[in-house]
Amino acid sequence: MPSADLSRLAALHGVATSYDPSPDRTVAASVTAVTRALAALGVDAGTPEAVRAALAARERERAERLLPPTVVGRGTGVPPALAALPEGTRLLVRTEQGETRPSAEDLPPGVHRVTATAPDGRTGEAHLIVAPPGLPAPPARSYGLLVQLYSLLSRRSWGMGDLADLGELADWAGRTLGAGFVQINPLHAAVPGPPTDPSPYRPSSRRFPDPVHLRIEDVPEFAYLSESRGESEGERAGAEGRARLEGPLRRAAELREAVLDKGALIDRDAVWAAKKAALEAVVDEVPLGPGRLAAYRDFLAEQGQALEDHATWCALAEVHGPAWHTWPAPLRDPRSPGTARARRELAARVDFHSRLAWLTDTQLTAVQRTAREAGMPLGIVHDLAVGVHPEGSDAWAQQDTLAAGMSVGAPPDAFNARGQDWGLPPWRPDRLAACGYAPFRALLQALFRYAGALRIDHVMGLFRLWWVPRGLPPTEGTYVRYDAEAMLAVLVLEASRAGAVVIGEDLGTVEPGVRETLRERGVYGTSVLWFERDWEGDGRPLPPETWRADCLATVTTHDLPPTASRLTGEHVGLRDGLGLLTRPLAEEHAEAAADTAEWLDLLTRLGLLHGHGTDGTVPVRTDGTAATEEEARIQAVHRYLLRTPARMIGVWLPDGVGDRRPQNLPGTWDQYPNWRLPVADAQGRPVTLEDLTASPRLRALLDVVRTRTDRPGGAEGADGTGGPGGVSGTGGAGSAEGMGGADGTDGADRADAPGRT
């Protein structure tokens, strides 16, 4: 047990000395965990004498300071920290907009600087974040599609889904079916392989997207290499460039055919090798035109040091490998003279990687524009991972704001006695406050460039994170608290500037007050049908009318069994075959069957399960063919979502074609092909984007949730397509766990995911 002095010191630095795995149980954090967490915050607590000295210094510093490093205000009132200053204190506010004001009243939203001078002569200066009180709700109910982009292959993609495929899906879904959004996995830049970590939730950089998602043919300069050209100054370059493209284009066709026609897994490394070779040919052989060059230079200027750091890391990784901790000592510091010299020596490669970031940004922006022009009120919902790979570019460039020797994870609880270590270094809350949350602001600004909405994985991390000291098991961790008011102020400020919606992934055990605070600030939650039960009462499914309205409601997610697999119980057999069950197979099967039977009984009683003996009819697809009993059940659970007041309804795209395979199976690494499966039908045959959009089964499911009215929670229409509870897809604006652990798992075994195991 931590001593009284250590507990007081820890509390003053936001380090917890205990946690509550359940409402009726409190567990003390170990002295080692608390001491190591304080050390990562720059506080020596290794001996009783050091604890007393650090405690005295901290208490003295807090007593003497006039202002904390960052002050937060909401709306137009005076921020509480400024209102509490001694009477007679003079203020000088320098606003983000360039004004100088003697008062903190009626400040515009932004990140300002405030200087305070007290009557006793003390002075203080702080960052002043002023945000709107909250985000406005989307103006109308909408539905959308959920899909992992890499799994969405067309007959034009290079072995994995790309941004052109995403644009085609959004264009089709918006124009044809009135969908309001498409939610995808994080597109953050990955740590390069081979092998590349396939999890999109353990990236190299969260700020910059991965160029593996580029559609090469949509790069404007590509046309000058791929097309025949007559006598001109660039004829020779064109011929050489076309020759350089032959190999990548041939390889692209082979990769596409292998996945779609031969049952191969998606090979991200092979796809990137082909795309990288093609991009090098384009960049080497075709100079940018004057307008394109001006746009590229604007991008470089706008992104500044962050892009230079990322591109430098990419260039250095090509020479020394991606593990920057093993680089020559001078290169481990992004600000060292040695790194500056290496940047000059590798200038061509630094420019190449900067160019790729620009090209990816332009295609992402084009996709969002396509989605909005197709009538989608939100467009693309991007996903923000909770952290970054410890060897990636963000960890290299942001060492001063990351907690050395620490990893984010989850504590042990009734569902995972060992806890979890996700292998992601956390931000230091003290360093964030000292710089006015600049890294977080920059990250959000980058994502909101092309996002109509943003899903924040493990949104509870804005309040606190479980820190695990390096070399210790997750059981030896402790919670470290962040200034949630400041984090949320930054989030609301940047989202409001972009006119974007924010969705927090808040599944599982959540600290009291968190959901209420998020709701107050206009941040939506995430509700998954199978988990919406009265956990504190009889454990039965919550009546649909009792669901919250401010959420994205779905039936399943990327790291849960597809709906067909859950309804048939096939997911139990899959986990058994991989040795993941903790109880006898018969017991697991019986529990899964009872769960399904309970839901089917409820759906029948509510009149939502149509056909196959339930109401004397057989449902019919859009092409006139009879739907199967399985399809009727999948449609029924989506009708259930329509009975809830949820303002956003998400449809897992693979459910529309009967896919059985989860995209990620928690608890596995190489035992299961996590993050490498294409969308497939019930027999496991890959389904192309072209076949998806022509699928009568998918169309029938989407007809269930598409336009009838935007008034939620009403009775269904006679045709079963939603009636007054239907979802507006005609212009109203509008997943579950996505935290990739070190073992490639994603949430179902997490401590904040009750009932998943």
Is the pLDDT assigned to residue 83 strictly greater than 70?
yes
- What is the pLDDT confidence band of residue 666, given thresholds at 50, 70 and 90? confident
90 pLDDT higher than 80: yes
Q: Does the structure show a pLDDT above 60 at 726?
A: no
Query: What confidence tier does 622 reach under pLDDT thresholds 50, 70, 90?
Result: low
Averaged over 478-500, what is the pLDDT?
A: 98
The CB-side HSE value for 490 (13 A sphere, CA atoms) comes to 22
Residue 625 binned pLDDT confidence (cut-offs 50, 70, 90): confident
pLDDT at res. 29: 94
Cα 434 from chain centroid (whole Å): 26
Tell me the residue ranges of DSSP E strands in 646-725.
648-652
337 or 626, which is more confident?
A: 337
pLDDT at 732 over 50: no
Looking at residues 540-555, what average pLDDT do you find? 96
According to the model, what pLDDT value does residue 613 have? 52
Query: What is the arithmetic mean of pLDDT over 117-125?
Result: 95
The secondary structure of residue 108, as a DSSP letter, is P
Q: How far apart are CA 165 and CA 173, in angstroms?
A: 12
CA distance 187 to 357: 12
Give residue-wise pLDDT tens across range 167-202. 999 999 999 999 999 999 999 999 998 899 999 999
CA distance linking residue 753 with residue 749, whole number of Å: 7
Q: Is it the case that residue 318 has pLDDT exceeding 60?
A: yes
For residue 194, the model assigns a pLDDT of 85
β 379-384/453-456 pair status: parallel
Other Cβ atoms within 10 Å of 399 Cβ, number: 15
Q: Classify 391 as helix, strand or coil.
A: coil
pLDDT tens track for 735-750: 333 333 333 333 333 3
The pLDDT > 90 percentage for the chain reads 81
Q: Taking residues 218-224, report their average pLDDT.
A: 95
Residue 140 has a pLDDT of 87
pLDDT digits (tens, 9 = 90+) for 528-542: 999 999 988 899 999
Q: With bands split at pLDDT 50, 70 and 90, how would you rate the model's confidence at 667?
A: confident
Cα dist. 349→51, 344, 352 in Å? 48, 10, 5
Which pLDDT band holds residue 627 (cuts at 50, 70, 90)? Answer: confident
Q: Answer whether 140's CB lies under 8 Å from 676's CB.
A: no
Higher pLDDT residue, 425 or 559? 425
CB atoms within 10 A of CB 748: 26
Residues contacting 284, CB < 8 A, separation 6+:
241, 244
Residue 203 and residue 611: Cα distance in Å, rounded?
Answer: 46
